[in-house]
A and B are shown apart, each in its own frame.
Chain A
């Protein structure tokens, strides 16, 4: 719920409660005051009637509101409702009855006053009051809404900037100063934070690049020297085995190094070049390269092309994407099965029968996550696939079943990636 809607809701609740309470209090207090007034007038008239002698003038003054009878009536002030000929409606009255001694006889006098006018008054006062209050409240609400929109505009701008912010593409945030102190402070804090982030990121990037380059050279020396050592005819078999193991290890290191460099280059957006790539050609080429290796493991690669997507991407990355998907299938296939590679206009799907999967499938895209801890591969293949998909906004999904079931990796060329 929006902040404004939330505050408005509380405003409304409070105002409604106050309105109800105020209405009730106003009604009863006004009613009470008006009745009091009527009662006082009646008592005044009673005083006049009892103190002075009754004259035709006073009788005429009191007119219709005076009733005199010989039969006793209950004394005191009370309410009564009578039919009014003129208004043609039942009218509430306030009556005062009291006995009067005149020439030895006892009369009961009843003074009566219509409350019709006071009821009208009450209604008028109440409606005026409520209308004014309601108008005030309504206009406050409108004012509040407008103010909020205007006052919160810098906040919305900041929010939009933050949403669009991408550390990979830009440096620190550039947020404008606002006339409101709180938002200015917020913007300052955010700008500082993003500057720190950008600096850290740049440092890390430089470090990775430098480290990658610096590792390359000693690795190349080691490998070249070991290769020269291998040529030595006087090498004893025991030493030869050691040299062989060392040589193999340097190759593993250099493969790992290549994979990591590739990952960081994709992250650093170093693959700006984008040309139309015919993916069926890439798939055919890679499948051809891997065919023999697959056959050696009793696997069959079956490539089905139902449509040819032409993607605008870096040819090296297209290569890497397909190669890593196929190699992953090859590596984790059960022997003697078929690896299905299906290419359509909007997706590349690689399906293979694999062993049971343990753990969270989403983790297979993480770096250095591998099936078998002892495996010689560093477990970067799917990370590279994911990174490439993310780079081009392809969707990547993985579905799997129990042991022996089909594991499917699907790359959707249109849907953007949805992982967090």
Chain B
């Protein structure tokens, strides 16, 4: 999986690159509009992560260039501009998703996976972790080949964990993934805990290993036993 990251801020760029490389992506960077433009003209990428405000241009023009070339690459916008109009313009140009800064790296990862899955496998790709298999397209989960019934929130939670294997997902990231920005953090943490407890119980009842590890004070992680 080859990804182009267009971001001018070095601190943020390095953190995103580290995260993507850990997840096994090949990641190229372009700190300026000019360089990004050159790269998308020369190479093929699976997905382009593009910041809208660049020192020498507008990220929206990059998306226009990509679409004009008929590129198969997915586009994920990351922007400090939260205005709905920007979001609509971006998505209207053919971007696949829009993340407002500051965002959780795990959320970026999950969205990136979803984009690549939709674009390259028409969604027909399962997420697999050990004996857990999820089909994101039709919402089914199997443990050792046996289907398992999950509530909507438990399912969303599991999918988020499967998209970020081996990564510590913070309570904040999980709460916001499940309930959106509006979920008041202090309340929703308890509920994240309840959902996780239930999910863990259901998985173990079906004979799955105890893959969900609690990192005290920080969050949770899907990892090998």
Contacts and interface: CB of A to CB of B under 8 A. Distances in A.
B23 to A, nearest CB: 11
Count class of interface residues, chain B: 35 or more
B185 interface: yes
Interface string B148-169: 0000010000000000000110
A331 B187 CA distance: 9
A251 B172 contact: yes
B167 A231 contact: yes
B185 A251 contact: yes
B71 interface: no
Contacts of B19: 224, 227-228, 231
B125 interface: no
Nearest to A251: B172
Given A221-B9, A225-B11, A247 B170 contact: yes
- Say what secondary structure dominates the interface of chain A: helix
A221 B172 contact: no
Given A221-B9, A293-B187, A376-B186, A265 B219 contact: no
A255 B181 contact: yes
A255 to B, nearest CB: 7
Contacts of A296: 187, 190-191, 194
A237 B100 CA distance: 31
A216 to B, nearest CB: 4
B221 to A, nearest CB: 9
Contacts of A282: none
Count class of interface residues, chain A: 35 or more
Interface in A227-277: 227-228, 230-231, 237, 240-241, 243-245, 247-248, 250-252, 254-255, 258, 261-262, 265, 270, 273
B183 to A, nearest CB: 7
Given A213-B80, A244-B217, A219 B102 contact: yes
Given A230-B218, A240-B216, A220 B12 contact: yes
A377 interface: yes
A227 B105 contact: yes
Contacts of A289: 179-180, 182-183
Interface in A191-234: 213, 216-225, 227-228, 230-231
A323 interface: yes
Contact of A258 (B82, B168, B172, B183): B82
Contacts of B101: 216-217, 219-220
Interface of A: 213, 216-225, 227-228, 230-231, 237, 240-241, 243-245, 247-248, 250-252, 254-255, 258, 261-262, 265, 270, 273, 286, 289-290, 292-293, 296-297, 314-316, 323, 327, 330-331, 376-377
Interface of B: 9, 11-12, 15-16, 18-19, 22, 53, 80-85, 100-106, 153, 167-168, 170, 172-173, 176, 179-188, 190-191, 194, 215-219
Given A230-B170, A293-B191, A330-B187, 5 more contacts: A220-B101, A228-B15, A240-B215, A270-B83, A315-B84
16 contacts: A217-B80, A221-B15, A223-B102, A223-B103, A223-B104, A227-B19, A227-B173, A228-B19, A230-B218, A243-B218, A262-B82, A270-B83, A290-B179, A293-B184, A314-B84, A376-B186
